[in-house]
Amino acid sequence: MDSLLLRSAEELFSRHASSDAVRAIRAGGSPGALWRELQASGFLDALVPETAGGTGLGLAEALPVLMAAGRFAVPLPVGETMLARAVLAEAGQERPEGTILLGEPFDGGARVPASSAAEWVLLSRNAAPLLRRAEEAQRDDRMASPFGDLLRWPGDAGGDGGPEELHAAGAWAELAAMAGAMERILESTVRHAQERVQFGRPVAAFQAVQQQISVMTEDVFAARMAAQLASVPDGPGIAGLNPLRIAAAKLRVGEAAMRVSAIAHAVHGAMGITEEMDLHLLTGRLQAGRMRFGGEAHWGARLGRHFLRAGDAMDPLAFVRAHLGPMEPETTA
Amino acid sequence: MIGALPLSAIPPEDEALRPEIRAFLRDEVGHIPAERRARSWMGFDAAFSRKLAERGWLGLTFPKEYGGAGRGALARYVLVEELLAAGAPVSAHWIADRQSGPLIQRFGTEAQRRFFLPRICRAEAFFCIGMSEPNTGSDLASVTTRAAREEGGWRLNGEKVWTTNAQHSHYMIALVRTSGTPADRQKGLSQVVVDLHAPGVRISPIRDLAGDAHFSAVVFDDVLLPPDALIGEEGSGWMQVNAELAFERSGPERVLSSAVLLDEWSRWLREAGATEAAEALLGRLLAHLAVLRAMSIGVTGRLMAGESPVVEAALVKDLGTEFEQMIPAVVADILARPGLVASGPLMRSLAYTAAMAPSFSLRGGTREILRGMIARGMGLR
Ligand SMILES: Cc1cc2nc3c(=O)[nH]c(=O)nc-3n(C[C@H](O)[C@H](O)[C@H](O)COP(=O)(O)OP(=O)(O)OC[C@H]3O[C@@H](n4cnc5c(N)ncnc54)[C@H](O)[C@@H]3O)c2cc1C
């Protein structure tokens, strides 16, 4: 991973995405200050080719930035805006300032995260990118839930379902943020277990607690590896995204998210259930991420079907080697 | 905290080994019934090991001067993952190639290297590991088998148990007490190599729940060992054993023990058709396999870089064995539909794998012991 980029992303978020700042944005406050910093940093054009005025970085180089946004539970579509800007650049379209969400197409409209601060929603129509202003859409209140709002644009001005490409790109952004959030949850859980004293000892001294945190550690490592595997640019999608890799990674990260959330909450005890503690910002991020752009069953079936129908009838190991193997960033750039 | 694992790839020169290995396995292993291939690294066939030796595939990582091929750990990774995916009967040479040989190479004397390593490479010396005893399982420092120094060598007394392949092997490397008492714990332990044909060695195979007799109880009754039976330093047995275990914890064998069952099931789905639930389940298993394989290669990469990622290896093993155990559990679930009859080889592979799966998280250190190591790595103990 590109540690220089990671360091500057972490630095930016620790300065401008404190718990208070994140909570204020979630409560409907203006994300302006944080967003201006992100724009100034150049991260948002990381995946746009240099010829189009971007930084032209690869997926593996952008991954740490997405993970860092997840670590800080940044309630803004950092990864999605990066991807949307790459799509627009490729189509030779204008890239507006402001936050851009990738819409999950639904019945002529689009599902977006609940009460999101996004200004734009990227859809697709006739296989071309279609950018719509969020404020021009109507929210379907009957369908609203903490997992998402349904937006419809008047006069059938929405997308038409669109290619799998955008869906897969959205899944990549989600899983990267989730992997980052899980790293932070693990740190918080270890710290809490060392500080909270019961029976005269830190609860970390109890073997049952240690074993639970070990399981959690394993899943955090697996989630991070899944995100790295999904960031190998050997596919036909945006910046080389590969839907098979994303299928495997979204599934594995989603599974990890359930176990990691459950153990984190168990170890934090009642304190973890409070609004005051930041834990729910992160575990809530995992819940939401699992529900967006396809969950485990969706992507599992996608992957399993591809494996079974491929003409070459590979054995599982050969398939995994051919499509889901590790490749170092240098050799794939 | 524990360091993140890098995404490391297998270099092209090591990948280049693969086609020849796959072609060889198609000819030599393809005809073996699935339920026998499902035995994975527990399948014993000395003749098969000799065929691998003829190809130069035993001791791949040993230096050339000792009969090896002087290749790196990732070359061996390619070889081993193909052997396991095919369900080749590798058990005869397995322990010598994976554990005992590298141990001798690292800690043995020059004379020991010259004696043992070429024999391992020729499939003439099979090894077993004598760590566990009737009263020593997870608490390995409690071993009581004792080698007492005397004129002309050592006198060995005690008992080992669960020794995989003892009845088929030429040598055992045993962890024994050479000084002090069990109260001294890790201090005073050493490793000795025992010629299993020596007088006073009594080997009794133990039948396992699948009907095989793959492990044994081994009694030492005044067995005389020559002075050069000691491997490494006297009193360094504990350190040496732990170095050995780090290497055995993160290889492809901790991910692929149920690979034959997974392969059989997916073949059957291709023939018989798959429900959406079966597709989703298969995709789930492939996703786990992909991530575990990348993690295991990442640990191997760090071992090759001279690091000792002991905790990371424990982490991959625990996750890997959980995956290996999940396969028979979920495949059984999806095949248990009234009116559905799957193929005989598939069902027999399932029965074997389901029965033996609990052992995957026992051998080489139990799940609870591994999780304890991870917790220590995380600063919790
Ligand atoms: C198929 C197979 C092959 C084997 N081959 C060999 C071989 O070739 N050579 C060899 O030497 N041995 C071999 N073994 C033995 C193996 O190493 C032991 O089974 C293992 O070390 C565990 O010891 P045990 O079975 O005595 O279990 P025990 O140590 O008695 O453990 C019983 C239970 O208690 C738990 N436990 C024990 N201590 C703790 C603790 N401190 N904290 C929490 N939980 C704890 C364990 O995790 C386990 O769940 C083999 C075992 C199997 C199953």
Task: Please state the ipTM of this predicted complex.
Answer: 0.96
- Minimum distance, in Å, between the CA of residue B331 and any CA atom of chain A: 14
**Which pLDDT belongs to residue B307?**
85
**Tokens 């008047």, residue located:** A154
- Where residue A248 falls among pLDDT bands split at 50, 70, 90? very high
Domains of chain B, earliest start first: 12-125 (1.10.540.10), 129-235 (2.40.110.10), 251-377 (1.20.140.10)
- Minimum distance, in Å, between the CA of residue B217 and any CA atom of chain A: 32
B292 touching chain A per CB within 8 A: yes
SS3 assignment, position B116: helix
Quote the mean pLDDT of chain B.
Answer: 96
Amino acid at A312: D
> What residues 255-274 of chain B have any CB closer than 8 A to a CB of chain A?
256, 259, 262-263, 266, 269-270, 274
A206 touching chain B per CB within 8 A: no
> What residues 96-115 of chain A have any CB closer than 8 A to a CB of chain B?
none
Residue B148 Ramachandran class (φ > 0 left, ψ -120 to 50 alpha, else beta): beta
Question: Which is the closest atom of ligand 1 to the Cα of A211?
Answer: 43
Residue A217 and residue B231: Cα distance in Å, rounded? 36
Give the distance (Å) from ligand 1 centre to CA of residue B235.
23
Task: Copy the structure tokens of residue B92.
Answer: 């005869």
Q: Give me the residues paired with residue B215 across strands.
A: B164, B206
> Given a cut of 70, is residue A329 above it in pLDDT?
no
> What residues 103-142 of chain B have any CB closer than 8 A to a CB of chain A?
none
> Given a cut of 60, is residue B203 above it in pLDDT?
yes
Percent of chain B with pLDDT over 90: 92
A270 touching chain B per CB within 8 A: no
- Residues touching ligand 1 (Cβ under 6 Å) are B 128-132, 137-138, 162-164, 215, 359, 362-363, 365-366, 368-369
> Given a cut of 50, is residue A1 above it in pLDDT?
no
- Where residue A330 falls among pLDDT bands split at 50, 70, 90? low
The pLDDT of B203-225, averaged and rounded, is: 97
- Where residue A328 falls among pLDDT bands split at 50, 70, 90? confident
Domains of chain A, earliest start first: 3-152 (1.10.540.10), 165-323 (1.20.140.10)
Contact B19, A318 (CB under 8 A): no
The pLDDT of B363-367, averaged and rounded, is: 94
- Where residue A331 falls among pLDDT bands split at 50, 70, 90? very low
* Burial category of A274 from C-beta neighbours within 10 Å (exposed 0-12, middle 13-18, buried 19 and up): exposed
**Which pLDDT belongs to residue A114?**
86
Chain centroid to CA A111: 16
- Give A255's contacts in chain B (Cβ within 8 Å): 284
The pLDDT of B173-194, averaged and rounded, is: 96
Contact B290, A229 (CB under 8 A): yes
Residue B345 and residue B265: Cα distance in Å, rounded? 10
**Tokens 């540690």, residue located:** A3
**Which pLDDT belongs to residue B111?**
98
- Give A257's contacts in chain B (Cβ within 8 Å): none
Percent helix, strand and coil across chain B, each to the nearest 5: 55, 15, 35
pTM: 0.97
Helix-helix angle A316-324:B73-86, to 10 degrees: 140
The pLDDT of A52-81, averaged and rounded, is: 96
What are the pLDDT digits (tens) for B307-356? 888 899 999 999 999 999 999 999 999 999 999 999 999 999 999 999 99
- Where residue A160 falls among pLDDT bands split at 50, 70, 90? confident
**Which pLDDT belongs to residue A332?**
39
> Given a cut of 80, is residue B134 above it in pLDDT?
yes
